[in-house]
Amino acid sequence: MTFYDDINIQGSSPLGNFRRVLKHNKAAMLGAIVLTVFLGAAVFADFIAPFDPLQTSLETLQTPSPKFLFGTDDLGRDIFSGVIYGARTSIFVGISVALFAGLIGVFVGSAAGYAGGVWDDLLMRLTELFLIPPRFFLVLIIAALFGSSLFNLILILTFTYWTTMARLVRAEVLSLKARPFVEAAKVAGATDARILFHEILPNALPLIITQMTLMVGGVILLEAALDFIGLGDANHISWGFMLHNGQHFIRDAWWIIVFPSLALAALVLALNVVGDALNVALNPKARSAYIDKAV
């Protein structure tokens, strides 16, 4: 889907293009603002949140009020503080996984695409293996068997997401490898490493950046889903975990459910909108890119 059919993108710098897209598209601009707000909340949570989100109190199931902006849960924990600290957990997991899975994927994908032959075949069969079980169930079963501390969750999610990036980068490297400028570099006597790192990968960078951004949103959704079914790390406050605890009180206390849900939806929505804008700015010819929604 694209909102940008009417925007003329002809700037020379990618950053300039991105700014132009933001300027012409209110949704993308709003997405960027929302994203900034959540990033701010994650970084400065200690200063913004009025309470410790895990600290219980006697003021249980309070409706939203000036003291408790989003109310309190059944153990008297402040929902507003939970939403603020939850942003930190979500963004931390999302960015870590996108970074690790992205790096592994770029490394393996470009090696396979560039080397070709047996290695390429081997890698593609391996990534196909990851595509068979639904991602949600694969992550669920590994988390259930191996434990689901925050560290484990990041490992498990990285383990299941790197193949997405590897397949994309491989395809991109394959197409770039056949371009005239790579031929030219070869004729000029450049080494394979130089061709890969100086000619091919810089040209694949727009795709890699866009995909990483979109991956953050997908990872955050999946992590929240795991927390929601009770497979999260209870030592870290997270939106999914708040929903898991709050669902039994939905009849009496809508605020326990509504505020973490809205935060989750707003963050992922912002990430997708900004990712789409990045895609338009960086890969003007490409169609809108989406990462599969696992949940």
Partner 1 sequence: MKNLFSRLFNRFLLKRIVQSLVLILLLIVINFFLIHLAPGDPVYYLAGQSGDEQYYELIRAKFGLDQPLTTQLWVYLASVLRGDLGFSLSYQQPVSAVIFARVPATLLLILSAILMASVGGILLGVEAARRENSFYDRAFNTFALLGHSVPSFSIGHLLLLFFALYLGLFPAQGMISANQSSTGIAYFLDLLYHLALPSLTLAIVQLAQIMRLTRAAMLDVLNENFIFTARAKGLSERRVLYVHALRNALLPVVTVIGSDLGMLLSGAVLIETVFAYPGLGRLTLEVLAARDYPVLMGLFLLISIAVTAMNFVTDIIYPLVDPRIKYRQ
112 or 156, CB closer to partner 1?
A: 156
Minimum CB–partner distance for residue 223 and partner 1 (Å)? 10
Minimum CB–partner distance for residue 135 and partner 1 (Å)? 8
80 or 228, CB closer to partner 1?
A: 228
Round to whole Å and give the CA distance between 27 and 295: 24
Rg (CA), the chain: 22
Minimum CB–partner distance for residue 101 and partner 1 (Å)? 19
Q: Measured between alpha carbons, how far is residue 195 from residues 130, 173, 176, 201 in Å? A: 30, 11, 11, 9
13 or 252, CB closer to partner 1?
A: 252
Minimum CB–partner distance for residue 271 and partner 1 (Å)? 8
How many degrees, rounded to 5, is the angle at CA 215 between CA 209 and CA 220?
140
205 or 286, CB closer to partner 1?
A: 286
Minimum CB–partner distance for residue 290 and partner 1 (Å)? 7
Residue 252 makes CB contacts below 8 A (sequence gap 6+) with: 61
The two three-digit tokens of residue 268, written as one number = 């992922």
124 or 138, CB closer to partner 1?
A: 138
Residue 144 makes CB contacts below 8 A (sequence gap 6+) with: 231
Minimum CB–partner distance for residue 35 and partner 1 (Å)? 13
Round to whole Å and give the CA distance between 94 and 275: 14
Residue 178 makes CB contacts below 8 A (sequence gap 6+) with: none
> 216 — phi, psi (to 5°)?
-55, -45
* Interface positions with partner 1 (CB under 8 A): 1, 3, 5-6, 27, 129, 132-138, 140-142, 144-147, 217, 221, 224-225, 228-231, 243, 247, 250-251, 254, 257-258, 261, 264-265, 268-269, 271-273, 287, 290, 292-295
154 or 224, CB closer to partner 1?
A: 224
Q: Measured between alpha carbons, how far is residue 6 from residues 2, 23, 24, 25, 274 in Å? A: 10, 13, 9, 10, 18
Minimum CB–partner distance for residue 119 and partner 1 (Å)? 20
Residue 72, classed as helix, strand or coil, is strand
200 or 281, CB closer to partner 1?
A: 281
The two three-digit tokens of residue 14, written as one number = 């990618």
